[in-house]
Amino acid sequence: MPASTAVDPVAAARAAEALGYDFVSTSDHPSGTDPSHESWTMLAWMAAHTERIGVMPRVLGVPYRRPAMVAKMAETLDRLSGGRLILGLGGGSSDEEFRAFGIDVPSPRDKVDGLAEAIEIIRGLWTGPATTYTGRIHHVAAAPMEPKPDRRIPIWLGTFGPRALDVTGRLADGWMPSLGYASLEALPAMRDRVLAAAERAGRSPEDITCALNVEVRAGDDTADRLRALVAMGFTVLNLKVPGPGRDEQVERLALEVLPQLR
């Protein structure tokens, strides 16, 4: 879902819910010249006006928000929405946005290390009585947080580089790259690296949801194209529908294409 203010987020979420979609998602790019909504606020607004559909940031740039506050925000949204949050996290792709908002630009290594540390802190706050964590980038000191989540809130990462893919397999519940940021030809090897990292960490590869963010329009070959992505191991497809005619496309995909895949 675009974060543009030209789109009514509640109407879009309600329409997606009525059409049987599993979740709606939004990107996290607070700086820019195109009018947009802040992603977390918009997701909360959509969740408050729907009943079933899941909500997901695709993905929160970790440098924008302290991990401990993200843990609190996520627990609250998941609780108030009845357990409908997927917490998407990423290292932050746009250095220009960081500069514009007065945020120090992390190096590529700092982005990956900061992402891993953020997950450790968030999970610690969600599960422990008080969390102390001293990382190279982030830290908390004997931090209590109540209430704890009623369930294991899934954390999915939008990652691409080798070290970031290793972090995904080691710590995350899901992997959601974007087709275009990674080529179709590169995806199988990247997925293999995520699953291999999970195995090295003593985890089952089956515990990692492999999702793909893909731009699509309904057409004669759409079902075949998406079926090929499922055959590659992507069991969740996050469909980005470009305008114009977005509403019609969303409906056509739900009624004509997705029944062929489910």
Beta bridge partners of 213: 178, 238
Beta bridge partners of 61: 90
For residue 243, the model assigns a pLDDT of 78
100 falls in which pLDDT band (50, 70, 90)? very high
Which residue type sits at 86?
I
Question: Which pLDDT tens digit goes with each residue over 251-262?
Answer: 999 999 999 987
Q: What pTM did the predictor assign?
A: 0.96
Average pLDDT value for the chain: 95
| pLDDT-above-70 percentage for the chain | 98
Question: Which pLDDT tens digit goes with each residue over 38-95?
Answer: 999 999 999 999 999 999 999 999 999 999 999 999 999 999 999 999 999 999 988 9
DSSP the chain: ---BTTS-HHHHHHHHHHTT-SEEEE-----SSS-B--HHHHHHHHHHT-SS-EEEES-EEGGGS-HHHHHHHHHHHHHHTTS-B-EEEE--S-HHHHHHTT-----HHHHHHHHHHHHHHHHHHHHSSSEEEE-SS-EEEEE--SSPPSS---EEE---SHHHHHHHHHH-SEE--BBTTB-TTTHHHHHHHHHHHHHHTT--GGGSEEEEEEE----TTHHHHHHHHHHTT--EEEEE-PSSSHHHHHHHIIIIIGGGT-
Question: Which pLDDT tens digit goes with each residue over 143-195?
Answer: 999 999 999 999 999 999 999 999 999 999 999 999 999 999 999 999 999 99
2 falls in which pLDDT band (50, 70, 90)? low
- Token look-up 């009624």 returns 255
Q: What's phi and psi for 219, nearest 5 deg?
A: -165, 180
Structural domains of the chain ordered from first start: 1-14+24-157 (3.20.20.30), 165-256 (no CATH)
For residue 242, the model assigns a pLDDT of 86
Question: Which pLDDT tens digit goes with each residue over 202-242?
Answer: 999 999 999 999 999 999 899 999 999 999 999 999 999 98
Cα separation, 109 vs 64, whole angstroms: 17
For residue 6, the model assigns a pLDDT of 74
Which residue type sits at 197?
A
Does the pLDDT of residue 1 top 70, yes or no? no
